[in-house]
Amino acid sequence: MTADLVRVDAVTHLRGTTAVLSEVSLALPPARLAVLAGRSGSGKSTLLHLVAGIMAPTRGEVTVDGKRATSVHDWARVALLPQRPALAPELTVAENAQLPARLRGRDPDPDLLTRLGLDALAGRPAHDTSLGEQQRTALARTLSLTPAVALLDEPTAHQDDDHVALVLATLTAAVAAGTLVLVATHDQRIIDLADALMPLRSGRLLTPEPTD
């Protein structure tokens, strides 16, 4: 594994003729909580999708562990939490959370649902839960294989204060387990925990700010 787990090198991404990201470069090692901060439309979600390999940059390169980011999705390597939970509505909370592990023939982490306050809902169909509960279920699914890189788009959305605390504790535990957690957020409570803060403004990355 390279010293920098994720590298973004001189990336520009165009939507039509509009630059969503302009000459963005960053390098992130494992076991960090790194935060992309900025207003809506600043390019945070686009950058997460580029690292996930869901989109390819117009110019520049994105690599994970020295390999170009690809749309061939390996949840044990790179896992993405989108802004919308995108659960299978007919599956239960537990089945949704454990799906990546089951597909790979691995035992799911039995503690994730408890850590995120979902254990009492484990047998409930996902469509019969609140948006906040669905978001936490999707977070459990994202972290279920202890990925090398977890890309989280507004993970505290739709949560009350008590559940935000559970989410923050879960992110801290993921970092302690060796995961690079890259978060796009407006939430100051996550920003305050960050090991590295990377402000985006109009698609440009301002000087990254270490928070140690």
Instruction: Report the alpha-carbon distance of residue 2 to residue 23 in Å, rounded.
Output: 23
Residue 195: Cβ-neighbour burial (10 angstroms; 0-12, 13-18, 19+): middle
Going residue by residue through the chain, which has 212 residues, state the pLDDT in tens, using 9 for 90 and above: 448 999 999 999 999 999 999 999 999 999 999 999 999 999 999 999 999 999 999 999 999 999 999 866 677 899 999 999 999 999 999 999 999 988 888 887 879 999 999 999 999 999 999 999 999 999 999 999 999 999 999 999 999 999 999 999 999 999 999 999 999 999 999 999 999 999 999 999 997 555 55
Q: Which residue, among 85, 89, 21, has the nearest Cα to 58 in the 3D structure?
A: 21
CB 139 within 8 A of CB 155: yes
As given in the structure block, the two tokens for residue 82 are 């989108």
As given in the structure block, the two tokens for residue 166 are 């559970």
User: Could you tell me the strand order of the sheet in which 67-68 lies?
Assistant: 18-28, 6-15, 59-64, 67-68
Tell me which architecture the domain covering 6-85+146-210 has in CATH. Answer: 3-Layer(aba) Sandwich (3.40)
Q: What residues does 26 pair with on adjacent strands? A: 8
The alpha carbon of residue 99 and the mean position of all alpha carbons in its chain are separated, in whole angstroms, by: 17
CB 146 within 8 A of CB 178: yes
Classify strands 204-205 and 180-185 as parallel, antiparallel or unpaired.
unpaired
pLDDT of residue 181: 98
Torsion angles phi and psi, residue 158, rounded to 5 = 65, 20
CB 33 within 8 A of CB 14: no
CB 20 within 8 A of CB 188: no
Number of H helices, E strands in the chain: 6, 11
The pTM for the full model equals 0.93
